């Protein structure tokens, strides 16, 4: 089966703005109206994983026009900058970014 590599241009025009805003909120835990709701779920066991797995979820209406894969990529970029321990990055098993309406629908 052939494998095709596709190199997309960064489709998120305001990617760096989103990263900066999320990074600021994550560090300061401001909780202002319209701010992202950041959840880090820790628990369970995964074979071969050191420590408990982490699941990251960010509910934020700024995601409205951002593709789900790009949302996850932005969340991971921020988490990598803030991780207290490099091993924590390897513990991430799930990343999801949702708008408020998408979160309420789940």
Contacts for 29-38: CB closer than 8 Å, 24+ residues apart: 34/61, 34/62, 35/60, 36/60, 36/62, 37/103
Predicted local confidence at residue 48, as pLDDT:
57
Domain boundaries, the chain: 15-105
Tens digit of each residue's pLDDT, the chain (106 residues) = 788 776 666 567 899 999 999 999 998 876 777 899 999 998 876 555 567 889 999 999 999 999 999 999 999 999 999 998 888 899 999 999 999 999 999 7
- Please give the CATH number for the structural domain made up of 15-105: 3.30.300
- Pick from 5, 7, 10, 8: which is nearest to 66 by CA? 10
């Amino acid at each position: 089966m052939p494998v095709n590599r596709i190199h997309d241009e960064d489709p998120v025009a305001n990617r760096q703005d989103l990263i900066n805003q999320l990074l600021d909120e994550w560090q300061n835990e401001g909780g202002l109206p319209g701010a992202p709701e950041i959840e880090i779920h820790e628990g369970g066991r995964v074979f071969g994983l050191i420590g408990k797995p982490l699941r990251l979820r960010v509910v934020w209406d700024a995601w409205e026009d951002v593709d789900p894969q790009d949302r996850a990529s932005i969340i991971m970029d921020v988490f990598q900058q803030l991780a207290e321990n490099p091993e924590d990055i390897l513990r991430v098993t799930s990343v999801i970014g949702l708008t408020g309406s998408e979160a309420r629908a789940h």
